[in-house]
Amino acid sequence: MGCCTGRCSLICLCALQLLSALERQIFDFLGFQWAPILGNFLHIIVVILGLFGTIQYRPRYIVVYTVWTALWVTWNVFIICFYLEVGGLSKDTDLMTFNISVHRSWWREHGPGCVRRVLPPSAHGMMDDYTYVSVTGCIVDFQYLEVIHSAVQILLSLVGFVYACYVISIFMEEEDTYSCDLCIFKHLFIQEIVK
């Protein structure tokens, strides 16, 4: 096979997905976003499995990758709806941290151009409550950065899905050709023995 094949493209795409998922994982760890951390971890594992299947000509692994990309698109659509507050979802809930902490997206306080100031607590609040952090001057609001991250993941997954389906069909076609050649060889071998 040449270098500009579907297989080579899928390998490059899986590598790009790994880089993108690792970058996202780092920022989710910084924000203590446990639900996305778990999802990213599973995504990284399955992308590695798909990469291995593509390199080693194992279509079953690529099928697992293909099914996962559909689930990954669904998860990222949910994240987009969550941060854009679609359908009764609210980005101010502790859903992404499994209600363990009051942490929010790391981008909320550290986005491009954001100036973070800790305000003095009021008499009836707690010291470690995030309502005492003032963030101003952000070029892009944090929810749109999260939406951009999810949109990139969706785009990579959809392209990966298409390439994975193509590579699976190529591998199956090659496997059928190989098994036909093997059957012909066996048939000729048996004929030679019978003579």
Give every residue of the chain whose pLDDT is below 50, as ranges. 1, 130
**Closest-CA residue to 161 (of 33, 13, 12, 2):** 13
User: Where on the phi/psi map is residue 32: left (φ > 0), alpha (ψ -120 to 50), or beta?
Assistant: left
From residue 132, give the alpha-carbon distance in Å to each of 40, 128, 142, 160: 30, 8, 18, 43
**Closest-CA residue to 96 (of 28, 182, 185):** 28
For 152-172, write each residue's pLDDT tens digit.
Answer: 999 999 999 999 999 999 888
pLDDT of residue 1: 46
pLDDT of residue 78: 92
pLDDT of residue 9: 92
Residue 193's SS3 state is: helix
pTM for this predicted structure: 0.78
